[in-house]
Amino acid sequence: EYTRLGAVAQLRQIMPLVNGRCSQCHFVFACRLLLPTDAGIKADLEKWVAANGWTNRVHFLGEVPDFPTLLHASDLFLFPATDMTGKIDTPLTILEAMAAGLPVLAYQVRSLEEIFGQGAASLLPNGDVDAMAAAIIDLVQYPNRRQHLGQQLRQIVQARYDLQKMVAAYETLYSLLI
């Protein structure tokens, strides 16, 4: 979705910082579901990208039904939401990216701190576009750091979100409530 969580506004600030300092950086816009309200935002973004001369570095895939394949073809995953108000569930795309061993860069937003843990290397000060741009460039330029962070996040998702562990935790919770 393009309309939720303030991510597009953040990306409009982050992309010029990254594109000005990192020639090998590319951005891919993809989503599982492209809402009717997203069409105008996507069109505006495409015009903005073209006006800045980035059409060879910014790619719009639209709806991607096979998200895991896209994740495995990616180097890192950005989730630049500054506010999770109204988002009551865990963003599945973040868990999928972590499970794929991708480094995830996101802002320090309360619900995301619960997923990553406080002080996680991939959580940046909320709304700090300079920090986000610097982290993107760092991970693109240093593949070993990127791989290490991706492995750490994969371990977190395996430890906390494994299906059998989640089922056991829910069973324990239900037995306490009954």
Model confidence at 86, pLDDT cuts 50, 70, 90, reads: low
2 is a domain residue: no
**Count of domains in the chain?**
1
Global confidence as pTM: 0.85
* Predicted confidence (pLDDT) per residue in 140-169, tens digit: 999 999 999 999 999 988 988 888 888 888
107 is a domain residue: yes
> 93 lies in which domain range?
7-177
* Predicted confidence (pLDDT) per residue in 33-52, tens digit: 777 877 788 889 999 999 99
1 is a domain residue: no
132 is a domain residue: yes
Model confidence at 18, pLDDT cuts 50, 70, 90, reads: very high
- The CATH number of the domain holding residue 81 is 3.40.50.2000
18 is a domain residue: yes
123 is a domain residue: yes
10/170 Cα distance (integer angstroms): 36
Cα 42 off chain centre by: 18
